[in-house]
Structure formats: C-alpha cells, structure tokens
Amino acid sequence: MTRGTFAELFSDALDRRGLSPGEAAAELARLGLKVHRGTLTRWRNGETEPSVAKLAVLRALPDAIGLSSAEKAEFQRAAGAALGFPIAPERRRAAEPTAIPQRIHFGADDLPPFAGRAAELADLQRLVLARRSVLLTGLGGVGKTRLARELLRACAGHFTHGCDFLALTAGQTATQTLRHVAHLLGADLPPDSFDPSGRLIPGRLRDRLPGIDLLFLVDNVATAEQVSGLVHELPAVTWVFTARQISLKRDGVQPVHLGLPSAAGAAAMFQAHAMALGDHAAPGGDHADLLGDHAAPGGDHAAHGGDHAAPLTDAAHIAAIVERLGRLPIALRLASAPLANGMIATVGELAAWLERGGLLRRGSPAVNLRPLFDQLLGSVPAEAQALFETCGVFATRTINLAGLSTVGKAAGLRPSAEAREWLADFSLIDTPTVDTIELHPLLHDYARLRLEAGPRRAAVAESYRAYYHRLCVAVSESGEGHVRDYLRVQPEEMNVRAVAAAFQAAGDWPRLKGMWPAISGYLWNTGNHADFEAFDRICLTAAEATGDENWAAIILSELGFVVMERGDWPAADELFGRSQALFDADPERLIEQARLRRYRATLALRRGETEEALRRLNGCAARLARLTNPPETRLEDALVLLHSARMSAHHCRGELALAAAAGAEADRLYHGLRAGARGHRLSEYRLELGDVGYRLGDLATARRAWEAMVDEQAGLPQRAEHAEAELRLAWLAAEQGHAPLALTKALAARRTFLALGKRDRYDLAGALIAGLETAAPRPPLADMMAGCAYPAY
C-alpha cells in the first residue's frame, strides 16, 4: 500500500478485495455506520476527501473492506498521513504517564429511580462501549438526562478514567464549553491556547490529555456549535450529548432519538418514583391540611409510613394516570409526588385529583404541563412557593444554596430548609449535593415565568443583582491584580455575567463599574481574551458616557495590551496613546503615566524599535523619580518592572553588560520588597536575567536567577517561564555530570510544556532527555534560549 493520496489508498484497498463503494457502504451499515455509497464513490474518485468528522467511518473502513490486521494498521497510518490527521486510536507515550485521575461524576450525589427504559439503555451501552459518541435527542421532559446518567453509571467502569458530567446553559459559547470541560479534567487552558478571535487552536487541549479514555456526558446542549469543537479536539473521549433538537452527524456523533416510553414502561416509571419518593417524605408525612379544595372525598391523608404496596397495585388507575399524563416522564415523576409524600392516599384519589387539574393536549411540553405545575405548586405552603419563584431569577438551574438564601432574605422571604423540603417532596427541585439545588429545565423556565408575572419580581431581581454585585466587589477588594481571589467568580460566572448584562441594559454604570475589576480580571486570567476585550469595550462605552476619564484611561491601556498581544500594533499604539493622553492630563497620576510609557516601550520592542523603546523607558523613569514611598506604595513594583523592561531592551540590542546591570537592579529592588508585596509574576525577569548572565559567561548569576525562579514557585502551578528555567538547570546539571538530577528537571520541564500545549518546547525538552538517556548529542543551551519568548514587562 504505497500510493500517496487518500483516493489512491482507498481505491487500492477496494480493488484488493474486489469491492465496490456500494458494497463497502453496505458493510459499514452492518457495523452501525450509515454512509451513502455516493460519498464513498467520491472519495475513491478523488472528488472529495473525508474530514475528521468522519473519523469513526475511517477507523471502521479496514474492517468493512476486510483488510488483515497488518493491512489495517498500514492503511490507517497512510490515510492519516494523506489527510493530515491521525486515524488510528491514539496510544499513550510510554515515557509520559498520564496525569488524568480516575473519576466517577454523574452530576448528582443521588440519582432518582430508573425504570421503564431498559431496552434504550442496552442500545446505548452497545454504542458507547464500542467507543461511539452519541447524541440523545427528544422533547423536553422525556427523560434524556436520567437515561444518560444511568448510561454513565452502567458504563463508567469500562473506561480507564471513568466518567464526568457537565450541564450547559443556553447562553454558553463554544469557547466557554471547552474551558469548562478542560477545567473539569484538570487541564485548564493557558491564554496562548486561543487564536486572536478567541477560538481554541486545534490540538492544544488534546495534547494536554494524551491517552485519555473517558465517558463524558454534556447535558442540555442548545446548539451544535456549543459542542462540535469538543468532538474534534478530544476524539479519544466518548461523548454523550443530550439536546432537544440538534444534529451532530457531520461531527461523527451517532444520533439516538428518545421517544415516549411504552405504556408498561411509563407505569414502571410512575411506580418507581412513587415508592422512592416515599422514603424521603417530610417527618410525619401529614399534608392533609394543604389539600383544601383539592381534597378527594373521604380520603385519609395521614402518613403511610412509606408502605405503598396496596395503592400501587391498582393497575387500572395507574394505566389511566399514565395515559392522562401522556406518558411524559417528567409529568409521571411530578404526579407521583402527592401519593409518595402522603398528601393523597390512593392511586384512585390521585387520578381524581389530576382530573380536576387537567393537562393540555397541544403545544409544547412547557405549555402542556403548566396546569400540573400550577397544581403541585399550589399544594405547598406560601413560603415554599415564594422560594421556588426566586429560583427563576438565577441564570443557571443549578443554584448555590448560600446565594439562594441570601437573595431570598434580601427580598423579604424566608428561604428555610423546611420550604426546600416541601419543594423536594413534590419533585419541584432536586438536591444533587448538600450545597446546591437543581431544577429541571422546564421547571426553571416555569419558575422564571411565575416570578416575572408575580408581585415579587422587582424585589427578587434587585436582591439578585445586589448579591452578585457584592461578590464581585469583594473579589476586587481582595487584593491587587495577581493576588485577587478569582476562583470565587468561576462557579458563578453565568450569574455574574447575567447581572453585568442587566446593569448594562439598564444603564446602571456605577454598579457595572463596581463589577468590572473582578469580571475583567477573571476573564483575563482564565485566558478568555475575546470576552475580556468585549466586556472592556462595553465598560469603555460606560466610562465615556459618564465622563469617567480615569476608568476610561485604565480600560484603554488594558485594551491596548490585548490588541498588542494579538499583533495589531497600530491599533495598540492608538489605544495606548489615548490612555496616556488622559493620564498625562492629571499631574497626580505619575504611576499610570509611567506604566503607559513602559507599555509603549514594550510595543516598540515588538516592532524591533529598540531606540524608541529606550526613549520611552527614560520617560517612565523620569516620572517614577518624582515619587517616594510613602505615600506611593506601588513605587517599588513599578521600578522592578522598569528595570526589567530596560534589561530586555538592552538584551535585544546585544548590549549585554547594560542588560545585566538593569537586571541586577530589578533583582535588588525585588528582594527589598516586603514579603506581602511579592507577586510571582513580578519576578519573571529572572529568566531573562539568567540568560544574560550565561551569555556573559557568568554561570553563577545564571544559576542563581533560574534556581530562585523555580524555588519561588514551589507548591504552585508552574508556568512556561518556570519550565524554561528548569530546562536550563537540567542542561547545567548535565554539563557538570549530574545526569540523574538533569533528567529529573528535564522531565519536569517537559511535563509543564505538555500541559501548556507548547509543542516546540516539549520537543526541545525531549531532545535533551534523549541526550541524557542515550548517546545522542544534547541540544546546545544557546538553541534553547533562541526559541524562548520572554514575558512582556
């Protein structure tokens, strides 16, 4: 099999077995893969080529054609080379053990009962155990999520790394989805993983998770665009998606439509929920006083002690209830709650109760179920109803209890544990963990509609906005820049951004400004530069509308840095210039004036204008020379950055002695800072200082700088600069004959480069490791330095 193009390879393989494209399509169909014979004909004739979306088909082609094991391996290798992406399943590098822990996450600590879907579960098991990703579609409330979670529970043990779960919200973008998945897998993406438009650079996440074998459920997908990138970026993950109506066929995901259960299956669901819920009824279980006008004549509504054997054998009434509810699983679960929690004594009484409330027969499930929702919510105390409606203000249907309680109390409600128990008894909420509650999507929409139509709307909305405004202000006040506790924003990102959008829509610029440091800092530090820029531009409009020149000047400088990093130097220069003009107009803003001159010096260095860079830095120094500490507590930090930038400028010009002197002054100032002011990013100059020292032949200075940089980061996640320092120390150790130490450091550096998706530096570390393990020549240290990108100061 020596031919080069995919068409030649495919045609040769068909000819070897005497098969036509139509016969190959039929064999693929027997393997569960539907591909039109015309598609295979076009591939054979070279009219089109398969994309990565057809990866499952390409992997199955050798088996469908009947190739031997050796022929299959050669076909997959050659086809991958011809198409530009690997065909054979990835094998983990033996020298790089996986750092992916085994996990079992179903999205809830306790799952509701599972019944009535055994056949559907078996079909899905066959697909995922064959490592086929699936898309489970169906109308709202049909039971997609519960079936998918049961699939995870049944199959997780067959995957090396277990299973994981993520529920999406309608507004999440593809980039946010990728970031959330990466975070769940312990592979947070650094900023350079994304292109200037905010899209993930292909391979950056895949390279961080070699050898992954995981089953992953992504629930409540709204659009194909939200998850299509996941399929292509992590083809070794077996995906299970749930959605109402989307298509992922082009991405090679097997569609499975989930219809209504059979009458027998629906009856089994109803009975399972009624019996399971009975175990969690409120103490005493006596809800008779709440029935009021809904009470069935002669009914005894006392507690049943969880013994539902007698009422649940009434097959005729169960069948009538199932049909009345249209066999919709969410309706079956909700309708079983009054029976399970003791509010209604028998199935017959429940049938009569439902008859009085009724269900609509046409329209969407949300509309059809409104009478049932109204009926159930009307059966709980007023404080529980108010708590349920409050859930509708949150942007996500999984809600932190602390936030719910605070928002409710501020709106004048009493969000008690007892109120939550009432809602849980009637299946209006779930409690996936001790710290959260969760609403079904249809119930979350219903809560929102109830809130918007009710008298509490304004009070709840205001308390919700005030709560997340305070959260962001607290994060902003937790420290300057690099020491802010942005982790507090992460689990509440959708709520925080929803509140910011509400302030923008209302023109509430003061409160938007209060949230701005936390949101913009969070977006920047998580590498979401596209959303960072978009949010900053919104805030710039607000700053200009209110005449807040100080705010505008800060935002302009931030935007300039983002634009500079993506290489749009004229736009960066314009933004920096506008910011500098505003700060220069205020003689008291010397620190900011100096900062803008340093930024513009960095821009000049990027352009290769070293003379201009030094001129800008002289202007920066002149302004800092007019300050003292006290009162200006930021002075030393600014001076460290000034001398770091000067070192970089002289280094670029080849003026090594001047570069070394500037770096030494930055180092002296840094060591003089009080302990609380030492920021880990502030000391990044040490990498370049060590390189300058090495080039001057001062190995002692070089070693001290690199070692100090690595030691200071001990116990914290390493960034690329620390891996660069480790790599240099490995080279020095090898030169001095300390091979074991050199190998340890080189392996540590390579792991960091792999985690950060820096393939060229990963390969360089690999070359050094090969030189240590074999007789291969080691790469010169000068080559390591040549490809290194120093941080901007």
Task: Give the model confidence (pLDDT) of 93-133 as tens digits.
Answer: 333 333 577 778 877 766 788 999 999 999 999 999 999 99
212 has pLDDT over 60: yes
Helix (H, G, I), strand (E, B) or coil at 322: helix
Who has greater pLDDT, 255 or 105? 255
Q: Do 249 and 111 fall into the same domain?
A: yes
Domain final position from 377, 393, 413: 377
CA 373/CA 295 separation, integer angstroms: 17
Domain that holds residue 25: 6-83
Please indicate, yes or no, if residue 337 is contained in any of the structural domains. yes
Q: What integer pLDDT is reported at residue 677 of this predicted model?
A: 35
Q: What integer pLDDT is reported at residue 299 of this predicted model?
A: 35
Please indicate, yes or no, if residue 94 is contained in any of the structural domains. no
Q: Do 76 and 109 fall into the same domain?
A: no
Q: Do 717 and 775 fall into the same domain?
A: yes
Q: Do 339 and 366 fall into the same domain?
A: yes
Closest CA to 167 of 10, 399, 507: 399
Q: Do 532 and 665 fall into the same domain?
A: no
301 has pLDDT over 60: no
Q: What integer pLDDT is reported at residue 647 of this predicted model?
A: 96
pLDDT tier at 300, thresholds 50, 70, 90: very low
Residue 434 dihedral angles phi and psi, to the nearest 5°: -70, -15
Q: Do 461 and 439 fall into the same domain?
A: no
How far is it between the farthest Cα atoms of the chain?
A: 99
Q: Model confidence over 169-202: pLDDT tens digits?
A: 877 888 889 988 988 888 877 777 777 667 788 8
Residue 349's CB is within 10 A of a number of other CB atoms, namely: 23
CA distances from 120 to 203, 214, 215, 262 (A): 34, 21, 18, 11
Q: Do 572 and 509 fall into the same domain?
A: no
Over the chain, what is the mean pLDDT? 84
- CA torsion sign, 494 to 500 to 501 to 506? positive
298 has pLDDT over 50: no
Q: Do 250 and 115 fall into the same domain?
A: yes
pLDDT tier at 550, thresholds 50, 70, 90: very high
Q: What is the CATH number of the domain that holds 32?
A: 1.10.260
Q: Model confidence over 604-654: pLDDT tens digits?
A: 998 999 999 999 999 999 999 999 988 888 898 899 999 999 999 999 999
Residue 203's CB is within 10 A of a number of other CB atoms, namely: 14
Q: What is the CATH number of the domain that holds 196?
A: 3.40.50.300
Q: What integer pLDDT is reported at residue 186 of this predicted model?
A: 83
Helix (H, G, I), strand (E, B) or coil at 104: strand
Burial of 66 from C-beta contacts in 10 A (0-12 / 13-18 / 19+): middle
If one counts the domains in the chain, the total is 7
Domain final position from 357, 377, 397: 377
Please indicate, yes or no, if residue 89 is contained in any of the structural domains. no
Q: Do 339 and 401 fall into the same domain?
A: no
252-279: average pLDDT: 84
Contacts of 572 (CB under 8 A, 6+ apart): 560, 561, 563, 564, 603
Please indicate, yes or no, if residue 792 is contained in any of the structural domains. no
Q: What integer pLDDT is reported at residue 265 of this predicted model?
A: 92
484-488: average pLDDT: 76
Q: Do 354 and 393 fall into the same domain?
A: no
Q: What is the CATH number of the domain that holds 626?
A: 1.25.40
Helix axis angle, 635-652 relative to 685-695, nearest 10°?
40
Please indicate, yes or no, if residue 633 is contained in any of the structural domains. yes
Domain final position from 377, 405, 431: 377
CA 607/CA 307 separation, integer angstroms: 79
Q: Do 251 and 288 fall into the same domain?
A: no
DSSP-derived letter for residue 142 is S
Who has greater pLDDT, 426 or 215? 215
223 has pLDDT over 80: yes
SS3 per residue for 661-682: HHHHHHHHHHHHCCHHHCCCCH
Percentage with pLDDT > 70 across the chain = 88
Please indicate, yes or no, if residue 571 is contained in any of the structural domains. yes
CA 212/CA 99 separation, integer angstroms: 9
Q: What integer pLDDT is reported at residue 504 of this predicted model?
A: 96
- Angle formed at CA 329 by CA 323 and CA 331, multiple of 5 degrees: 70
| pTM, entire model | 0.63
Contacts of 547 (CB under 8 A, 6+ apart): none
User: What H or E segment, with its residue span, contains residue 708?
Assistant: helix 699-712
CA 239/CA 214 separation, integer angstroms: 8
Closest CA to 667 of 655, 656, 678, 657: 678
Please indicate, yes or no, if residue 91 is contained in any of the structural domains. no
Q: Do 13 and 35 fall into the same domain?
A: yes
Helix (H, G, I), strand (E, B) or coil at 144: helix
Please indicate, yes or no, if residue 92 is contained in any of the structural domains. no
- Relative to beta strand 162-167, strand 215-221 is parallel
